[in-house]
Amino acid sequence: MDMDIDSPAESNSLPPRYRIVQRLSLQGVPEEHLERLEPGLVAYVKENKFRVPELVSAILPTEEEVLEAYKECKASSKEDLVSPTMTEQFRESMRLLQWLMFYGEPLSALNKLAKISTGQRGVCGSVWGHNDIAYRCRTCEHDPTCAICVPCFQNGNHKDHDYSVIYTGGGCCDCGDVTAWKREGFCSKHKGAEQIQPLPEEFAKSVGPVLDALLVCWKNKLLFAENACQEYHKGSDRIGEFKKVANELTFVVVEMLTEFCQYSESLLSFISKRVFISDGLLDSLVRAERFLSKRVTRKLHELLLKLLGEPVFKYEFAKVFLSYYPILVNEAIKGCSDSVFKNYPLLSTFSVQIFTVPTLTPRLVKEMNLLALLMGCLGDIFCSCAGEDGRLQASFVRLL
């Protein structure tokens, strides 16, 4: 496949597939492999597994290509949106990365995993939006914040139980989660996280290295965007450029991982472990709402809610969550407003997933000094409300 492209502008006019071929060619991938792009690259990776990190980086669009798309969006006053053109380029990259993950056609591999996982689902984890319908069951719940989705309620046995229909404000189904729901209240399809089977070794060996390399690239783009927000003055083009790169990559990675989770609970569990063992990634994902668009943040939080069904991930996430908690509380204090929690919804979305779990919260109290953290935040709030005489200043609104 012959190409002679000199400038980024000319490169941007090419279809995503050709840009990927060009970048891989520059990495020294032989032409005979590139002529059969998907199977050819799989064959090359099998023979050169040590090159996976650099090949993953080469398959992803370059920063220059993303920034060119950003400038085009900015010219049309759409800089806050995910660019359809750029998203398609990233999706093409994800499609090729999936070939490398599964050593073959991705959909066939995912369908194979789905068949292996049939009847083995441990936790439901269906994610709700606002005003979705769910069920509370006071007989089965461990605390008043727990609920299950309609299918799980219908597939369970709640005869003579104290239950009610509710409208959700977000969150996820607790069926199968022993920390939130009594085992006797589990439905016929979910029997607890301990039922989750390990990902078959043939898939773990191929998916792991590619996914790890992708997660490192993802973390780096998030860090670049976060640092840009801190180092450049407000309104700087550099902030928008780095945020654009982080938005585009996060959107397609979350899209892909969410799809994986729908096919196989074993794959979901495998992904959750790779995420929290990837150095610094979970910290970046927790803070990402501070610089990602609301649309992308919402999708990211939906993925994190799904991953919380894995108990080890929930604990690792909780530790990072606690380090972020006082930061937002202090921002709310400085701004004399709780609007910060609306702009940064992670606390409101995940507090109920962390602080109400009877098996998790005591562990956090013991190992992470949770009570001292919460009391410190409460003390800061009281101090901010104190007048010169040291008394709390309070205003009362009369309800008519």
Of 82, 84, 106, 94, the closest CA to residue 255 belongs to: 94
pLDDT exceeds 60 at position 155: yes
Average pLDDT over every residue of 16-24: 90
**What pLDDT digit, counting tens, does each position of 25-72 carry?**
999 999 999 999 899 999 999 999 999 999 999 999 988 887 776 676
Give the pLDDT score at 84. Answer: 63
Categorize the per-residue pLDDT at 178 as very low, low, confident or very high, splitting at 50, 70 and 90. confident
CA distance 153 to 136: 9
For residue 237, what pLDDT is reported? 67
In order of start, what are the domains of the chain with their CATH numbers? 126-195 (2.10.110.30), 324-399 (no CATH)
Residue 10 has pLDDT above 60, yes or no: no
Instruction: Judge contact between 304 and 290, C-beta under 8 A.
Output: no
pLDDT value, residue 4: 41
* Residue 166 backbone dihedrals phi, psi, to 5 degrees: -130, 165
- Burial per residue of 11-48, b for 16 or more beta-carbon CB atoms within 10 angstroms, e otherwise: bbeeebbebbbbbbbeeebeeebbeebbebbbebbeee
CA distance 10 to 160: 69
Lowest mean pLDDT among 258-262, 361-365, 393-397: 393-397
Give the residue from 360, 349, 356, 347 showing the smallest Cα distance to 310.
Answer: 360
The pairing of beta strand 163-169 with beta strand 130-137: antiparallel
Q: What pLDDT does residue 76 have? A: 57
DSSP state of 122: -
pTM of the model: 0.86
Predicted confidence at residue 301, as pLDDT, reads 95
Would you say residue 395 has pLDDT above 70? no
